[in-house]
Structure 1
Amino acid sequence: MRFNMKNTQSLKLNRDFRRAYKGDNFVGGYTVVYIKKNKYQFNRLGLRVGKATGKAVTRNRLKRLMRESYRLMEDDIEKGYDFIIVARNRAVGKTQSQIQGDIRFAMRKLGLIK
């Protein structure tokens, strides 16, 4: 059985990232979440982990944890937004539940959780 994000696509273009950065944001303990309304009936997700966070293995693990955190709460989030989730350096070594809690708190503060 495959568990994938049903109603979400990836943000890939630089112009889409720049546009999303101009929207609202919330700075949490482990992540920064940027949101911007889009013209689609689905969400688009972009993940960013800077090189200062660590080596490639560490950065890829953080991206997997953030993607899984988003996937688990995808059904609760309003549709029609572009999201960028940026990992902060202090996210290294944190568990999936800690990162998910941080992202959920940010989404609630931004008014996106139903």
Structure 2
Amino acid sequence: MKKAFRIKKNEEFSKVFNEGKSVANRQFVLYALHKEGQNHFRIGLSVSKRIGNAVMRNRIKRAMREWFHQYEDKLLQDKDYVVIARNPTAEMDFFEMEKSLIHVSKKAGVLLKDNKR
């Protein structure tokens, strides 16, 4: 995922939290904010220190980035997304995370219907 497609600044995170809509399941919270005139979605990832050490948190973030990379053509493009990982993600492998992220993105209505692989 290119750095231009990531949300890094605290103000940008706050804007998505305050103005975007949120949907959650047991593993993830997904915030989505519509951005008029934006050609490609941007993502921000948050994994708390309560979930594990730096190795664990980075593994979870890599898996989330990979999921967004695999599903980038199936997601609505004119949005900013912030994903917060919850505690159960520490014990999950990539495929379980993938299933959970699909579930939460369908719940949010940001995953397009033709996601058969």
- How many residue pairs were aligned? 109
Task: Provide the rounded CA distance (Å) in 2 between the counterparts of 1:29 and 1:101.
Answer: 12
Q: Deviations over 1:18-67 (max 9, x none)?
A: 01112111111211111101131110100000111111011111101111
Gaps of 5+ in 2: 113-117
Structure 2 distance, partners of 1:57, 1:47, is 15
Contact 1:52 1:89 in 2 (8 A): yes
Match of 2:13?
A: 17
* 2:76 counterpart letter in structure 1: E
- Counting strand residues as a fraction of each chain, which structure ranks higher? 1
> 1:38, 1:90 → 2: CA distance?
31
Contact 1:70 1:100 in 2 (8 A): no
Matched, 1:29 2:26: yes
| 2:115 equivalent in structure 1 | none
TM-score norm. by structure 1 comes to 0.89
2:34 maps to a residue whose letter is K
State TM-score, norm by structure 2: 0.87
Could you tell me which runs of 5 or more consecutive residues in structure 1 were left unpaired when the two chains were aligned.
none
Mapped to 1, the partners of 2:68 and 2:95 lie a distance apart of: 11
Amino-acid identity (%): 29
